[in-house]
Amino acid sequence: MAENEEFFSINEDATYQIVIKKSKFIANVFYVESEEEAENKIKQIKKKYYDAKHNCFAFSIIQENKNEYKKCSDDGEPSGTAGLPILNIIEKRKLSNIVVIVTRYFGGILLGTGGLTRAYSDATIGALENAKIVKIESGKELSVEINYNQNKNFMLFCKKNDINILEEKYQENIIYKIGINERQYSNLKNEIQENNVDWKIQPIQKNENGRIFIKKEI
């Protein structure tokens, strides 16, 4: 497995709304894992709020090469007053794999560049405060097949090592799908070898390099 990679993101989608001088700002924040996902979320919001004058956004994505791809848009607002302030909040909070879209319904009163910057920043902050922040670890998905009489020991091992159980199937044996990082994978192999337990493990390919993102509460 590759060297472990950690960053912070959100656990669930969230929204926040404020009204400033009759202009309504609706911020939506989503967890995404690719530029394509981010662009799809932006399209969904634009379709939902089709009658709004502006749908400004920013996103930050961890790519396969571990570089971070960032993009923002003012969507017709004065340059630097919307997309960049949203992106600045994302960066200040050190968040990745996230897209924030702030929709504005113009209320007829001009806010000025400073007022716009504050409004888009405040809407972004509000949405992020409504979204639970989690630590994200890069890892793998594994299939683990065990006998029913070993289930208690396996569950205790997962709890002790903070391993995410993603799916379980009860057949002739129990088959668990787990999300696991490098340290946890090493502990799992040691447990099997040192205690001679009959846990059959097999990697599950998620994409070209098998990488997934595992969310951990903080």
User: Around Cβ 118, how many Cβ atoms within 10 Å?
Assistant: 15
Q: Is the Cβ–Cβ distance between 18 and 126 less than 8 Å?
A: yes
pLDDT in tens, 65-88: 678 899 999 999 999 999 999 999
What is the rounded distance in angstroms from the CA atom of residue 121 to the CA atom of residue 4?
32
188-215 tens-digit pLDDT: 999 998 988 899 998 775 544 456 676 7
Strand 212-217, strand 200-204: pairing? unpaired
Domains by residue range for the chain, with CATH: 6-131 (3.30.230.30), 137-217 (3.30.70.240)
Token pair 């129990």: residue: 174
Mean pLDDT along residues 174-190: 90
